[in-house]
Structure formats: structure tokens, C-alpha cells
């Protein structure tokens, strides 16, 4: 991405942002690979099914961050605990030599910390599930990013290159993880009450909080880079002021895939309307007048011009599957992050 001329990128971002805000994105998502069987979601998932759904997502994040920081898969990590892959686990596809060259020490530190934490999440869920834990599915961290970049107007997008590309790759995953845990927690029945064998809700909420920390840090860093407060490598500096536009395009694509783009916003408890927003500033009421606030919380679902429900939103299992499969219908795609689908009963 950083090799594109800034003028060209400006026009691409503007045109893609318009495309991804409307019905054109639905047509664009149909370009993602050959579609196979549609996603399957049980009517009332059990706790084990929910945790295995989360484990699939943790496998994906652990692999992404470990490759970005060490250039190897999470089962071969040397910086902190590595994960153990169960028998029958799938492969991870990534380009040869993939390893992000970090120029900013703080971004590098964040990347290594997150890699360790995501691997720990895998280990925790595997331990909690015991023999019921699913194996890692096939994971695609190569053509998935190329295809996604094409939809965003950046056909050379590769998160395993520079600080900015890595942060945008993180942006793709972290908000999805936050909303997936929020949604999954709603269905967990074991809450540590008397007579229950386990408390699954408390650790799920704990992981949700960690994912939210990650998402907030990424959003703040991208916003500060655009503002000139954070300096990244020389390859990224030409794109200062463009990060928010790319993040917004990613958010719009996710909202298109989860089916909320174009929904009329309300202030009711139903919280309808588009659920995913990028980085921006907006007007807020302040003691009878108005002020300007930056949007680092992906709370979603608004009435214009003011945000009324500062509550992080959740996604259903189907909505999450639509995003990671790159299909508005939940069809599995060869060029998605899970090219053969997830493992388990929610897939």
C-alpha cells in the first residue's frame, strides 16, 4: 500500500468510500472467491459451541499477530508461550518472508504483547474445553488480504510490511473480536451459579475486555498518526491523513457484510442502524452548546448528528461469519480468512 502514489490513493479512497457506503459493496463482495456451503448456526448454541466459535477466531488472531511479529506460525513462536495445534488442524497460508518491519517502537511493543495475549487466549480456551476443543481450521492470511485490499482500492495491501499496514490489519480483526465476544456472551448459560460445573461468562467477559483494549489502542494510534502526533516509518509518512479514510472504508465494508448498512437509525432500545464506524470527529452536546469529540469507540447505531447510546455493540454469530467469510450471505470463500470454513457447530 505504501508504494502507491499519494495522489492516486486519495482518489481511490474517495471513490471506494462512496462505493462501500452503498449497494455497490454488496456487488463487490460477490467477487470474493468461489462460494461453497453457506454458514450454519444452531438455533440455541450450547456453551461448548460458543467457546469453540471463539476458539476459531482466536486461532486466526494468534496466527496473524505471531506471523507479523516473528514471521512464523503461532505453534512455532519463541517470544512467550506458543500454542499446541490439535491433531487434524489445518494449515496457515501466508507469503514467504512475511514479517512486519516495525519502525515505531511503541507499535512493535503493542504487536508483540498482542501476539502473546492472543496465543494465551487460544491456550485458555483449549484448556477450558478439554477434549471438546476443535482443531484449528485452514487459515488464509495471504490472498484474503489481497482480495480485501482490492475491495478497498488498495490491491497491494499487505499487513506484514509496515507499521501502518499492520495497524490496518489489526483494525480488521480487533473490532470483530470485540463484537463477537459481546454477542457470544449473551448466549452463555454457565455463569458460575450454584450447581453449575463452570463459570464461562466471567472469562469470556475478560477476553472481551482485552480485545477491546486492543481495538481502542489501534484506533487511537491511527488517529494520532493522521494528526501528526505519532510518527511511523518513512514508507508510511506519505500516507499521513489517509489512515482514517482506510479505516472507515474497512468499517463500511464490515457493516455491509453484516447487513446493517442503510438501516434507518433510531434512539430506541433496539439500537437499529449501521453498527460499524471508522475514525472521525463529530458534534456532541456540551452543557447547552455543542463541542467536537473524536470517535475512538466503535459504539455504532446513531441518530444524526449526535450519538445517544455510547454502548459497544454486539454481532450475531451469522454476522461475524459473514465478515470472516467475506460474504453477505455467509457463504464460505476460498479467498476468505477461513477458506474451508470454521470448525465446530457454528460455522
Q: What is the pLDDT of residues 277-317, one digit of tens each?
A: 788 766 666 677 777 666 655 555 544 444 455 667 789 99
Q: Is the pLDDT of residue 104 over 90?
A: yes
CA dihedral (301, 159, 156, 161) positive or negative: positive
Ranges 3-12, 146-155, 242-251, 297-306: which has the least confidence: 3-12
* Residue 272 located in a structural domain: yes
Give the domain range for residue 25.
Answer: 6-333
Q: What is the pLDDT of residue 199?
A: 87
Nearest CA to 4 out of 246, 278, 277, 251 is that of: 246
Nearest CA to 103 out of 60, 56, 162 is that of: 162
| 3-state DSSP assignment of residue 294 | strand
* Residue 340 located in a structural domain: no
Q: What is the pLDDT of residue 194?
A: 74
- Which residues fall within 8 angstroms of residue 167, CB to CB, at 6 or more apart? 107, 218, 221, 222, 225, 243
User: What is the average pLDDT across 49-72?
Assistant: 98
137 and 151 in contact (C-beta within 8 Å)? no
* Residue 343 located in a structural domain: no
Nearest CA to 325 out of 88, 152, 139, 98 is that of: 139
Q: pTM for the whole thing?
A: 0.86
* Residue 230 located in a structural domain: yes
Query: Dmax of the chain from CA atoms?
Result: 63
Q: Report phi then psi at 139, rounded to 5.
A: -125, 135
- DSSP E strands: which ranges in the chain? 35-38, 92-93, 139-140, 280-286, 289-295, 331-333
* Residue 36 located in a structural domain: yes
* Residue 346 located in a structural domain: no
Model pLDDT for residues 165-218, shown as the tens digit of each residue: 999 999 999 999 999 999 999 899 988 777 777 889 989 999 999 999 999 999
Instruction: Find the length of the chain.
Output: 347
| Cα–Cα dist 272/261, whole Å | 10
Q: What is the pLDDT of residue 1?
A: 45
199 and 190 in contact (C-beta within 8 Å)? yes
Q: Is the pLDDT of residue 140 over 60?
A: yes
* Residue 56 located in a structural domain: yes
296 and 219 in contact (C-beta within 8 Å)? yes
| Cα–Cα dist 286/139, whole Å | 47
Domains identified in the chain, total number: 1
**Strand 139-140 versus strand 92-93 pairing type:** parallel
* Residue 345 located in a structural domain: no
DSSP 259: T
Amino acid at each position: 500500500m505504501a508504494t502507491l502514489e499519494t495522489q492516486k490513493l486519495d482518489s481511490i479512497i474517495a471513490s471506494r468510500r462512496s462505493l462501500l457506503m452503498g449497494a455497490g459493496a454488496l456487488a463487490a463482495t460477490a467477487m470474493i472467491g468461489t462460494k461453497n456451503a453457506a454458514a450454519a448456526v444452531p438455533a440455541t448454541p450450547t456453551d461448548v459451541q460458543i467457546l469453540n466459535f471463539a476458539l476459531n477466531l482466536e486461532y486466526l488472531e494468534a496466527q496473524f499477530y505471531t506471523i507479523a511479529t516473528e514471521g512464523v506460525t503461532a505453534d512455532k513462536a519463541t517470544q512467550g508461550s506458543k500454542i499446541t495445534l490439535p491433531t487434524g488442524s489445518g494449515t496457515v497460508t501466508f507469503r514467504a518472508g512475511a514479517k512486519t518491519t516495525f519502525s515505531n517502537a511503541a507499535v512493535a511493543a503493542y504487536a508483540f504483547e498482542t501476539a502473546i495475549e492472543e496465543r494465551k487466549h487460544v491456550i485458555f480456551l483449549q484448556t477450558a474445553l478439554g477434549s471438546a476443543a476443535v482443531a484449528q481450521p485452514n487459515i488464509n492470511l495471504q490472498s484474503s488480504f489481497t482480495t480485501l485490499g482490492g475491495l478497498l482500492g488498495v490491491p497491494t495491501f499487505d499487513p506484514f510490511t509496515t507499521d501502518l499496514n499492520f495497524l490496518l490489519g489489526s483494525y480488521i480483526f480487533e473490532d470483530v473480536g470485540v463484537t463477537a465476544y459481546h454477542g457470544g456472551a449473551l448466549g452463555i448459560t454457565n455463569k458460575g451459579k450454584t450447581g453449575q460445573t463452570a463459570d464461562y461468562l466471567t472469562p469470556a467477559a475478560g477476553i472481551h475486555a482485552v480485545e477491546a483494549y486492543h481495538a481502542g489502542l489501534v484506533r487511537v494510534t491511527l488517529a494520532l498518526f493522521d494528526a501528526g502526533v505519532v510518527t511511523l516509518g518513512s514508507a508510511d509518512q506519505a500516507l499521513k491523513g489517509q489512515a482514517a479514510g482506510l479505516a472507515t472504508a474497512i468499517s463500511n465494508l464490515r457493516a455491509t457484510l453484516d447487513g446493517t448498512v442503510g438501516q434507518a437509525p433510531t434512539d430506541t432500545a433496539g439500537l437499529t442502524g449501521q453498527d460499524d464506524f471508522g475514525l472521525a470527529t463529530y458534534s456532541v452536546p456540551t452543557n447547552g452548546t455543542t463541542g467536537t469529540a473524536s470517535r475512538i469507540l466503535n459504539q455504532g447505531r446513531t441518530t444524526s448528528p449526535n450519538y445517544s447510546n455510547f454502548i459497544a455493540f454486539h454481532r450475531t454469530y451469522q454476522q461475524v461469519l459473514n465478515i470472516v467469510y467475506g460474504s453477505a450471505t455467509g457463504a464460505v470463500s476460498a479467498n476468505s480468512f477461513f477458506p474451508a470454513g470454521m470448525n465446530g457447530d457454528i460455522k
